Chains A and B, each alone.
Chain A
Amino acid sequence: MIPATPTARPATFKYSEKWERALKTLYRRKDVLWLIIWLAGLGMLALWDAFFLNKPAFQKLQQGIVNTFFVALFVIFLTLFLGWSAGVGQYFLDQMRQRVPYLVATFLLNIIRSIPQIVGILIGYALITLGIQNDALSNPSLIIFLTSFTISLFVFPEIVDLIRERIAYFKQRDFYNAMRVCGISEQRIINREILLKNSLPHIFNKLISIFGITVFLLCSIDFIVSVGLSGEINAVNLPATLGSLLANIDSKQDILAIGHTLTNPGYFPNLFFEHLQGVSVAFVIVFSLICIYKIANGFAQRHEL
């Protein structure tokens, strides 16, 4: 028998090997996998709604999604800025033995910590709507920014705590002293060596969670505000978000329809055609929160946090 001469691997074999490797990599990086699932899910919903949801409702939904996620994104940046500044600032005030400024900063932080997030944000909302009522605020972008700032004000202490904890942890390690005795400045050691080089995954993981917290808080508060705490507050002038859409009468009826299918399973297909607005809003909220949770977990797992 003539031994078979080695031949080049067929192209399809190489192709499937490449896919297999890509899938294995993706499975190892669960945060990336869930990000893809999330974006794919939102994409499929957008496609479905483009076909089966009426145009005004579809535009409202798009606006709500964009506003919600923009607020969440702004909150991340503002929280990072406030948290890093406060955390590092508090540390240096302590190091420089500036007792009074340190005590004042700590007191203010503790005041913020003591206020429940939802209460604090509601107070912020009240101030924003007061501004809208008095025509001091009319620019939707500014309103979104102020909403983000309000939320980040009651969320940034989590970043402060993380930063203080990371600094305290690395101060115990030899490299902190080894760099100090080489004459490297404390600011560089803290900001660059400890936080930027050794704590970025931890900070990023926290920010992913904060993104999810923001979406949840925003939806909850907008829902409450939209339902109406007072007859004088007009939620129409606030930018549309997923929460405010959910409080909309049409969406409420759509949500009730979901409950109806529990006793009338035959009605289930109608949810995807006749009650699409509310179902879409509810789906985006729930699906996003689950995906963000999974992304945070996957990220923590990948970086062994």
Chain B
Amino acid sequence: MQYDYKIHISKNQRPIVAIDQFTIAPKKITFLFGESGIGKSLISKAIYGLIDPNLLDVSINDETYPKYLAQKPTHSLQKNGFFVFQEPSSHLNPLARLKTQLNEGSIAIVDSEQEILQKLWDDNDAAAQKILEVYPKPYRPSGGEKQRILLAMAFKKISLLQKKKSLPDEHLFVFDEPSGSLDDHLRNLFLQLLFEKFAQTRFNALFITHDYSIISEIYQQHREMAKHCAFKELTLADEGLRMRDFAPGEYLDWLKAEKSGAFIRGKRAKIVLSLKSGYEVFGKKMAISHTGNGKSGDELRIHAGKMVYVKAASGVGKTTLAKIIMGLQRCQHLRMTLCGQEFNDATPTLQWRRKVWGKTAGMVFQHADEALNLQATVREVFGGLPVARKLDDPAITKHLLTLFDIAIDDAFLSKKVALLSGGQKQRLNLLRTLALDTDLLILDEPLNGLDLESIQKVIGLLKKKLRNGAAILMISHNEEIIDSIVPPENVYILRMSR
């Protein structure tokens, strides 16, 4: 059975998502890429029957949503499948232990739970069992742990389905950003288990992600399964939303070219930033070094025309480091030099405001939704920037066209930021800081939520900035991509000092 859908979603007659052909390949894992906010999750929820018809107006294959929901195939999809939500907390009941929730409904009778948990927790049974006794709260267990519980539920359902003599025609397993909260190692464990299950009995799966490094993992570790995968991408063009075939080679070849190309090496020019290891923040003493040995005395140095990549485990303090450099976070034992000016614990914020912000350094914050004023228009995002020449409409349009390939007209410039997709917001977030002519650029997760084409363009823009003499401090979990453009000697590890 081919899953072909024509979907239209609107609210109060304002269109939200409209696509004429959305296809899920049968007996395959369909990997769906696309920038954040383009509609991947909403479409998959609509197909799965999870949208409240009182909140949104949905039509699928020219049928009203209540009619679609009442159909037998829709019921079968839900009965014989599982939906792993992007935000795991929205799936978990805070009033029941995770152990209870892992054994609710039809998945209670599945006996492969231990095996699944063992694989997802990398044989750390004790840690897994400890988590199961917990009532899920916002701060405990962690996002990654909640995600793995949800994935365990999905795998139990798959196991249940595989026990049947033949899989029912209508079934669908949806994984919406399943690796969002997982580091690369855990993500790979999950993929391993997914392919193992798939190899036993092929089922219909939709895997929504914007982590392109999954493609590398598939072709390096699971090459034989690649033929059972369909790679698709949702793109937004002038004519509307469309789903296209995404050739894995697009990403792999580009990555290869980046790796084999010359690393971005600036001439040994002036030192733009130097930050001594051993600063203390939130009661933790931090060390930054090339080797990650955590010795104090090491120093973070960024030269003009050079990109430095700071790595650290999640929650260690990469974003905090960025904020310390920008004067947004106070710390103890700060010894920093930025463009020849010295900064320490006693430096007043006024000095950062007068000498640094928008002049010698700029920063791109991690979450575009929070970094931009959602009530401002696209044009107003560039208002008030301390640039040599005021950014009028033609200048803003020219700047936007470096990352946007849609028509930049007055309607777009007057559009509220809140109405842009996640990927568009992220691009706008980047472009605002890139419009400045600063010596140092700090980029916190700049590639978040972008499609491959935008990632390529962003990398291109950053290379141009480096050629013009800017220094860049990069914080990103897209290790595969950043490692391909930053030489090893420019990689620093941030750790808590021993």
Q: Are B359 and A183 in contact (CB under 8 A)?
A: yes
Main secondary structure of the interface of A (DSSP, over half): helix
**Would A193 and B376 be within 8 Å (CB), given that A174-B370, A178-B371, A184-B384 are in contact?**
yes
- Counting CB contacts under 8 A, is A197 at the interface? yes
Of chain B, the residue at the smallest CB distance from A185 is B384
- Counting CB contacts under 8 A, is A18 at the interface? no
- Counting CB contacts under 8 A, is B401 at the interface? no
Q: Are A183 and B358 in contact (CB under 8 A)?
A: yes
| 26 A–B contacts, CB within 8 A, in A order | A173-B370, A174-B367, A174-B370, A175-B370, A175-B373, A177-B328, A177-B365, A178-B363, A178-B370, A178-B372, A178-B429, A179-B384, A180-B328, A181-B326, A181-B357, A181-B361, A182-B362, A182-B432, A183-B358, A183-B359, A183-B362, A183-B386, A183-B436, A184-B386, A193-B376, A198-B375
Residues of B within 8 A of A (CB): 323, 326, 328, 353, 356-359, 361-363, 365, 367, 370-373, 375-376, 380, 383-386, 429, 432-433, 436
The list of the 5 closest CB pairs from A to B, nearest first, reads A183-B358, A174-B370, A183-B386, A178-B371, A197-B375
What residues of chain B lie closer than 8 Å to A177, measured between beta carbons? Answer: 323, 328, 365
- Counting CB contacts under 8 A, is A99 at the interface? no
Residues of A within 8 A of B (CB): 173-175, 177-185, 188, 192-193, 197-198
> CA separation between A181 and B371, bound complex, in Å?
11
What residues of chain A lie closer than 8 Å to B353, measured between beta carbons? Answer: 180
Q: Are A182 and B370 in contact (CB under 8 A)?
A: no
| 19 extra interface residue pairs, beta carbon distance < 8 Å, beyond A180-B357, A181-B328 | A173-B370, A174-B370, A178-B363, A178-B365, A179-B384, A180-B328, A181-B326, A181-B357, A181-B362, A182-B362, A182-B386, A182-B433, A182-B436, A183-B359, A183-B385, A183-B436, A184-B383, A188-B384, A197-B376
Closest chain-A Cβ to B420's Cβ sits at a distance in Å of: 14
What residues of chain A lie closer than 8 Å to B371, measured between beta carbons? Answer: 174-175, 178
Of chain B, the residue at the smallest CB distance from A184 is B384
> CA separation between A188 and B385, bound complex, in Å?
10
Of chain B, the residue at the smallest CB distance from A25 is B12
> CA separation between A12 and B363, bound complex, in Å?
60
Of chain A, the residue at the smallest CB distance from B348 is A97
> CA separation between A179 and B364, bound complex, in Å?
10
Closest chain-A Cβ to B495's Cβ sits at a distance in Å of: 25
What residues of chain A lie closer than 8 Å to B436, measured between beta carbons? Answer: 182-183
> CA separation between A197 and B357, bound complex, in Å?
23
Closest chain-B Cβ to A23's Cβ sits at a distance in Å of: 15
What residues of chain A lie closer than 8 Å to B323, measured between beta carbons? Answer: 177
> CA separation between A178 and B369, bound complex, in Å?
11
Q: Are B357 and A183 in contact (CB under 8 A)?
A: yes
> CA separation between A142 and B266, bound complex, in Å?
71
Of chain B, the residue at the smallest CB distance from A188 is B384
